[in-house]
């Protein structure tokens, strides 16, 4: 497996394709069999994946516990990132009820995550969402204290804008920023990616396959379980899916030329954007995992990339990333 370095200051070397683990526990319909997910995580390690992403709220807690158990035998070979920054429902509900990045709360979350992950230090600790009530300088300072104590190795931000990234980086070097990025979600290209390149910060692309849509396995006739957040997502209405299939067709055309799959071309496109971008597609199937990893062997020429960008630039993506309900979902 090819590797990439996140962050120029004390950079973290990880596999070029990581694994987003959220869907193994929640958000995409009923959770799969736990033992099967442990087997999948072991299979990822066997295939060279060294970066695994989770968060306390995935479950809540279930996903961290899953990774803690499954990856314990491989702790010297893998890096695990997790997140703080949400206020959980005191009544035990699955959705967070707000944001909370107070230093006291950050410390409490980290202590609990360390126990669930069965590690002595968290490889990358991400602020899950920016808290408008807590200055980012205070957040960075709290994480700095945890780094000094040996409980955290690297600091990251999720869905932060360029100004917030700059302010945080002045207090504590940011190793990576994690935000949704794919051919149908390209908001980060205008300000975030140029800022990261300037500052020497890595980028983690979550939902790099458009939450499954860019695989080509979803069309206007696809139905979703009521517990699958896509069932109420604006971009996954029947009309939006039908309209957005043009983008999948574009990827499919290139895939035929390359002897690859639609998913592999979508991931190869991301890998070709910058050498410090690491996509973290999620999956529940070993076959899909192997397919995603195979994207590192798909070479897109300058002409290929120009063709994709030219055609994609003429296509409108229909549907917002989130509805009001979806805004409360974590990391989606």
Domains, the chain: 3-328 (3.20.20.100)
Q: What is the pLDDT of residue 304?
A: 96
Taking the C-alpha atoms of residue 282 and residue 19, their distance in angstroms, rounded to an integer, is: 6
CB 215 within 8 A of CB 64: no
Q: Using alpha carbons only, give the angle 98, 283, 218 rounded to the nearest 5 degrees.
A: 95
Residue 219: closest CA among 257, 258, 262: 262
Q: Region 83-107: what's the mean pLDDT?
A: 93
pLDDT exceeds cutoff 60 at 306: yes
pLDDT exceeds cutoff 90 at 322: no
Residue 277: closest CA among 181, 161, 170, 171: 181
- In terms of C-beta density within 10 A (0-12 exposed, 13-18 middle, 19 or more buried), how is residue 319 classed? middle
- β-bridge pairing 86-87 and 98-99: antiparallel
Mean pLDDT for the chain overall: 95
CB 34 within 8 A of CB 40: no
Q: Region 217-243: what's the mean pLDDT?
A: 94
Q: What is the pLDDT of residue 323?
A: 78
From the candidates 28, 58, 86, 206, give the one annotated as an active-site residue. Answer: 58
The tens digit of pLDDT for each residue in 32-83 reads: 999 999 999 999 999 999 999 999 999 999 999 999 999 999 999 999 999 9
Q: What is the pLDDT of residue 328?
A: 45
> Which uninterrupted H or E stretch holds 260?
none
Could you identify the residue written with the tokens 């929640």? 26
**Structure confidence at residue 331 as a pLDDT band (50, 70, 90):** very low
Q: Does 58 qualify as catalytic in the annotation?
A: yes
Q: What is the pLDDT of residue 162?
A: 98
Q: What is the pLDDT of residue 95?
A: 83
- β-bridge pairing 12-15 and 3-6: antiparallel
pLDDT exceeds cutoff 80 at 159: yes
Q: What is the pLDDT of residue 92?
A: 85
CB 41 within 8 A of CB 33: no
Q: What is the pLDDT of residue 54?
A: 98
Is the model's pTM score more than 0.85? yes
């Amino acid at each position: 497996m090819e590797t990439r370095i996140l962050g120029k200051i004390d950079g973290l070397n990880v596999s070029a394709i990581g694994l987003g683990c959220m869907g193994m526990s929640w958000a995409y319909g009923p959770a799969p069999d736990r033992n099967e997910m442990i087997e999948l995580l072991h299979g990822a390690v066997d295939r060279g994946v060294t970066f695994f992403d989770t968060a306390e709220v995935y479950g809540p807690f279930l996903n961290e516990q899953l990774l803690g158990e499954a990856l314990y035998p491989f702790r010297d070979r893998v890096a695990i990132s997790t997140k703080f920054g949400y206020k959980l429902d005191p009544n035990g509900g699955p959705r967070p009820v707000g944001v909370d990045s107070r230093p006291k709360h950050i410390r409490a979350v980290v202590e609990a995550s360390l126990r669930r992950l069965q590690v002595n230090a968290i490889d990358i600790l991400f602020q899950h969402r920016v808290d408008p009530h807590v200055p980012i300088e205070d957040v960075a300072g709290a994480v700095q204290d945890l780094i000094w104590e040996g409980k955290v190795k690297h600091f990251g931000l999720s869905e932060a804008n360029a100004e917030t990234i700059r302010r945080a980086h002045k207090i504590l070097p940011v190793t990576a920023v994690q935000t949704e990025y794919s051919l149908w979600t390209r908001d980060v290209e205008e300000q975030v990616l140029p800022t990261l390149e300037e500052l020497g910060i890595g980028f983690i692309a979550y939902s790099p396959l458009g939450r499954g849509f860019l695989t080509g396995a979803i069309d206007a006739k696809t139905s979703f379980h009521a517990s699958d957040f896509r069932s109420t997502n604006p971009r996954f209405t029947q009309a939006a899916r039908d309209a957005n299939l043009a983008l999948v067709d574009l990827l499919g055309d290139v895939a035929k030329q390359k002897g690859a799959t639609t998913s592999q071309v979508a991931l190869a496109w991301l890998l070709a954007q910058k050498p410090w971008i690491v996509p973290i597609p999620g999956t529940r199937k070993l076959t899909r995992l192997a397919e995603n990893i195979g994207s590192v062997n798909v070479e897109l020429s300058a002409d290929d990339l120009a063709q994709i960008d030219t055609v994609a630039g003429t296509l409108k993506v229909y549907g917002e990333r989130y509805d009001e309900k979806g805004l409360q979902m974590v990391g989606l």
